[in-house]
Structure 1
């Protein structure tokens, strides 16, 4: 049985600095731009579009969520903007931001805008113009450049880029020169985003701390007869109370057999006695996500069977986390974790057969049906190459500054009649957020109860 490094100190002693970070300094975004431009060839241009507001119904909009690559390079959180990065033939860089203009009437009805003067003063770009000037200025920026970089994954924006290139081409007779090479900017930004800076880690540490407080609150407020959505409300309340106004993703609050639906978000059922409650919820802080899952008994007391499954998943999680260090990979962690879970399910009598054959046949995947983890950052399932081979193994070696989730689970739905009835309806996932350090790892999820003893004690208090 593995040890749990999080229990070496009581949860009450887990604290952050007196001045926790709530957002990145704007100077960090200048560094992000500089790092990207270092990857640009001379005489090139890169284009990044902000997101647009999305209509929810009639004249109301969804809460605005900025394009994450654009946000990574600017920190600018208004819609319909455009970032242009220029590198001349001598390797000198320039950044230009096109954004919505100051508008007194708009600001009365919808809110204040940064405007072009403050965009230069506060966001560190070299020049800023109104979005209406894009059509007249962009052709000049594109003219004579040898390469254009933009995100190929955004098909609508790619179509817009081709429209701009067509405008340049229409002026060939007047001496214009259309760029001959197109390059995908997404992989470049993804590599930069994959390695977190100290400030990014501090921000993610705070997002995790807030999320941990929310999971504690859910455990304390949980009662038989409440609805899943009421527990979701407790989570969101705690997020906002500590400065995280939005969840990083739609919260999963799954009681009983609903836990065996991996992306269950209805959150509409009543919580029942002697069932477990799985909550997968994380706060978003200044764009950066936490992603934490905890599973606990609705009535505050694990049954014998729930304890057995829960402890197996907890030990598997800790086994994987304790193995994390530079040079490790998800592929190696999967081998370790899958073998451990297979042995555990054999010991419990849930699966039967020769252990070597069961491991070789990946029998455990009938019950552990998702991946062990994923990158984490500005997106919950963050960008970054996993170096997946033809066998779907994630071979990329971990490096200092990477942040990932580790989230083993065992799911036995009520409909599974191949197992003893006492196991049916149990679904357990436990998920922590881990940063790779020079000497091993840091568990960012430091204040969220996870041992059986800690959970039962907190729910009893």
Structure 2
């Protein structure tokens, strides 16, 4: 992403910060397994949103109106011995030239420099509670200044959570961010298509997971946005199932929830399809009900509507359909009022999508559902999960279905970023008939 994208974000933040304030944001710490083996490193999203800087052991300091430079970046210095272990290190010079810092300092100098910057700071903006070790460091610096108050040093007398401000900024995507989300969606679509075409009875769930991982990697995606879920049969009724260890049986459905992360932006797609390539009559009936509900929900996505409007539209379709099938009994309006549908439709309609798969941002403001605005991106994912129970006809038992797409709110309405992935019964069966592997 262009360096000006991050510069514009920092300027927007500085325009929001109160007079005489500063913001401090730490990078995500390294995560270790067995003391010496690194998990794949992922930068803190708020830190990356403002800096584009990918390395650990870094700190961003933003000081509006500072004449010597408003954006300071503390990071590791280049060191041949260290780079042999950790790979190439960006270093101080490139932190300025490539990543746009006004000044760059060694991360080892924070104790010498940060307290001095804080002396003239009335209000400190900081993401308290995310990284305990750095929380302690902030408190240490403040206490250090308080101890020298008689010499004229003044500690910040107010601390404000900067993450709330950044979460609101992140909610409406720029053109560059939308392009990144498109790229993640496009790769995810290829992975889901591959899984559909590879699927056949007697495979294990993890074999489909492997095909998804392969397709992501071969298209330059080094990270999944979240752990892939491949849930066959009764497992499809388990939300957030990720064990992926059972056999895919002939006649069952399989529900896949998978998405790529590219350049720190996520995709999140769910598709449900028959293991043998052909929907049974009960499976088709329920599937088309979920698809109808999703289409009703997407139809309610446009500026001026509220966050909950798509959910309410899906609820009406789901409840009416379940009543028609005999899975619910009673008047539709009463069933909705009593939330009877929640026995089979347990989740909400979706979530914000962006740098995190569950991107931050309030869904209500002052206890009122938020109004949708251009640039927001959300998932739309209604589902039905039918348990095996004595009061339910056996033909419906253990059928779990979810259909999930990524939707951008536009000035004129919406755009489904994942529309190229088949989701009608006819489209899915046709794709699965063209076995490519």
TM-score, length of structure 2 as denominator length: 0.97
Matched, 1:457 2:430: yes
**Aligned partners of 1:43 and 1:89 also within 8 Å:** no
Change (3 A) 1:368 1:74: same
The aligned residue for residue 118 of structure 1 is: 94
Tell me if 1:298 matches 2:275.
yes
Q: Using a 3 Å threshold, how does the CA distance of structure 1 residues 93 and 365 change in structure 2: closer, same or farther?
A: farther
Aligned-pair CA distance for 1:395:
0.5
Residue 372 of structure 2 is aligned to residue 395 of structure 1: no
- Which stretch of structure 1 is more off in the superposition, 402-411 or 323-332? 323-332
Q: Is the 8 A contact 1:398 1:436 kept in 2?
A: yes
* In 2: Cα distance, 1:460 partner to 1:240 partner: 25
The equivalent of 1:420 in structure 2 is: 393
Quote the Cα distance in structure 1 between the aligned partners of 2:374 and 2:69.
29
Distance 2:92 2:150 in 1: 34
Partner of 1:328: 305
Between the aligned partners of 2:223 and 2:30, the Cα distance in structure 1 is 16
SS in 2 for 1:342: helix
Three-state SS of the structure 2 residue aligned to 1:123 is coil
SS of residue matched to 1:296: strand
Looking at structure 1, the residues matched to 358 and 307 of structure 2 have their Cα atoms a distance apart, in angstroms, of 15
Q: Which runs of 5+ in 2 are unaligned?
A: none
Shift of 1:388: 6.3
Query: Could you say which residue in structure 2 is the equivalent of 1:133?
Result: 109
Q: SS of the residue aligned with 2:167?
A: helix
Deviations 1:269-298 (A, max 9, x none): 111000000000000001100000000000
**Among 106, 109, 114, the residue aligned to 2:82:** 106
Question: Which of 367, 378, 382 is the aligned partner of 1:404?
Answer: 378
Aligned counterparts, 1:160-175, within 5 A = 160-175=137-152
Conserved 8 A contact 1:236-1:246: no
Please state whether the residue corresponding to 2:308 is helix, strand or coil.
helix
Residue 13 of structure 1 is matched in structure 2 by: none
Kept in 2, the 8 Å contact 1:214–1:235? The answer is yes
Counterpart pick for 1:209 among 186, 197, 221: 186
How far residue 171 of structure 1 moved from its aligned partner, in angstroms, is 2.0
**In structure 1, C-alpha distance between the alignment counterparts of 2:200 and 2:305, rounded to whole Å:** 41
How far residue 89 of structure 1 moved from its aligned partner, in angstroms, is 8.0
Residues 219-298 of structure 1 aligned to structure 2 (within 5 Å): 219-298=196-275
Q: CA deviation at 1:155?
A: 5.3
Instruction: Find out whether 1:30 has 2:7 as its counterpart.
Output: yes
Match of 1:146 in 2: 122
Q: Deviations over 1:173-222 (max 9, x none)?
A: 22111111111101100011000000100110111011011100000000
Q: Secondary structure at the match of 2:156?
A: coil
Kept in 1, the 8 Å contact 2:270–2:403? The answer is yes
Query: C-alpha deviations, 1:5-59, integer Å up to 9, x for none?
Result: xxxxxxxxxxxxxxxxxxx222211111111111111211100000111111231
Any idea what SS the aligned residue of 2:70 has? strand
2:345 aligned to 357, 363, 368, which one? 368
How far did 1:330 drift? 2.4
- CA 223–333 in structure 1, closer or farther in 2 if over 3 Å, else same: same
Between the aligned partners of 1:312 and 1:388, the Cα distance in structure 2 is 32
- Compute the displacement of 1:160 (Å): 2.3
Paired residues of 2:69 and 2:103 also in contact (CA < 8 A): no
- SS of residue matched to 2:303: coil
Q: C-alpha displacement at 1:101, in angstroms?
A: 1.2
The higher relative CO (CA closer than 8 Å, separation ≥ 6) is in 1
- For the residue of structure 1 that corresponds to 2:369, the secondary structure is coil
| Alignment length (residue pairs) | 433
Does the aligned pair in 1 maintain the 2:300–2:309 contact within 8 Å?
no
Note the C-alpha offset of 1:311: 0.3
| Candidates 91, 94, 97, aligned match of 2:70 | 94
Q: Tell me the TM-score normalised to structure 1 length.
A: 0.92
Q: Is the 8 A contact 2:43 2:54 kept in 1?
A: yes
Q: Which runs of 4+ in 1 moved over 6 A?
A: none
